[in-house]
Amino acid sequence: MRYYKTIVLLSFLAISALIFYFLMRMEESERDKRAALRPIELPYTWIGNISKASIAEPSGITYHPLRKTLFVVDDGGILHEITSDGVSIKNKDLQGRDLEGITTNPVTGWLYAVVEGDETILEISPETLIISREFKINRTFDGKTLLEKGGMGVEAIAFVPDPLHVEGGTFWIGNQTFSLKPNDEPSIVCEVEVPLNSSVAEKAEGTIVRYHKMNFIDISGLAYDTQSDSLVLISDTTNLLVELKRDGNLTHHYLLPGDDQEGVTLDGLGYMYIAQENGEIIKLADRRLR
């Protein structure tokens, strides 16, 4: 009987220890989440404004790893190619479209710009700057409208390559809004599948496959960080840079330098470029921990 009581007591103590351990882990996890939500200063070394080209109101920027150059779009619908030191190489007017973001497929080298209002992704040749194909994004997901027609519109885009995906990867887009109220247009990022490989049609549709709600407004720029396998979002209004895992986990909030930040890109060589609406292209040495 005494042996049985001892076994029961030891079992009770073991279960209590396990419960205590899991409660401590849950509390630690919550502390980490709360810490990730508190903005801290972005660790960087200031290089400065590199722009030597006349770019009126830049709205998006991407680094092209094959050409070792930057592509910038502006609110007037002009696409610019510049060197990493800001020297103009070429530019082209893309029919006056409201271009708000641009990204690169690092495998094929094609450029993809997003048109605000139309919610359309344009496929563009980096050599000629000619539009090859257009992909209209379906505004709904599971029967719910996420991208409201006549709303603030898509403001940012990033391509995430995936050799196992039938299309070679997927796009992530940021929907701009200035409210976090439940019934207002949502502040979200969406993963979008586009038939890059499975179709040769000049016009096709992109489909939202998942989305994540954000806890901040005015998503103005988006990039993919290959080193941390994270999305990097910026917010103009709140001067924030946010790291987001593709599963929706927000890992860091940083305070951004500068003003009117409209686009962000990373060159994989340790530098970050921020396109500002005032025409400046700010270059920073990125000191975030990897």
Are 185 and 175 in contact by the 8 Å Cβ rule? The answer is yes
Indicate if the pLDDT at residue 152 is higher than 90: no
Token code pair at residue 28: 């630690």
Q: Which of 180, 164, 162, 182 minimizes the C-alpha distance to 172?
A: 162
Per-residue pLDDT band at 10 (split at 50, 70, 90): low
Structure confidence by residue, pLDDT tens digits, 227-284:
999 999 999 999 999 999 999 999 999 999 988 999 999 999 999 999 999 999 999 9
pLDDT over 90 percentage in the chain: 73
Range with lowest mean pLDDT among 6-20, 198-212, 262-276:
6-20
Residue 156, pLDDT > 90, answer: yes
Give, in degrees to the nearest 5, the angle at Cα 82 between 76 and 84.
135
Q: Are strands 131-137 and 203-213 parallel, antiparallel or unpaired?
A: parallel
pLDDT in tens, 53-70: 889 899 999 999 999 999
Q: How many CB atoms lie within 10 A of CB 227?
A: 11
The answer to whether the beta carbons of residues 155 and 220 sit under 8 Å apart is yes
Residue 290 has pLDDT above 90, yes or no: no
Q: What are phi and psi of 19, to 5 degrees?
A: -60, -45
Mean pLDDT of 135-155: 91
**pLDDT of 31 over the 50 cut:** no
> pLDDT (tens digit, 9 = 90+) per residue, 66-84?
999 999 999 889 999 999 9
CATH of domain 42-286: 2.120.10.30
Neighbours of 76 (CB within 10 A): 15
Higher pLDDT, 33 or 75: 75
Least confident interval from 91-100, 187-196, 231-240:
91-100
Mean pLDDT (whole number) for 166-195: 93
Instruction: Over range 148-154, report the average pLDDT.
Output: 85
The pLDDT value given to residue 54 = 83
- The reported pLDDT for the residue numbered 17 is 59
Comparing 130 with 178, the larger pLDDT belongs to 130
pLDDT for position 197: 97
Mean pLDDT of the chain: 89
**Is the distance from CB of 97 to CB of 117 less than 8 angstroms?**
no
Which helix or strand (DSSP H or E) is residue 243 part of? Answer: strand 240-244
Yes or no: say if 165 and 178 are a contact pair by the CB < 8 Å rule. no
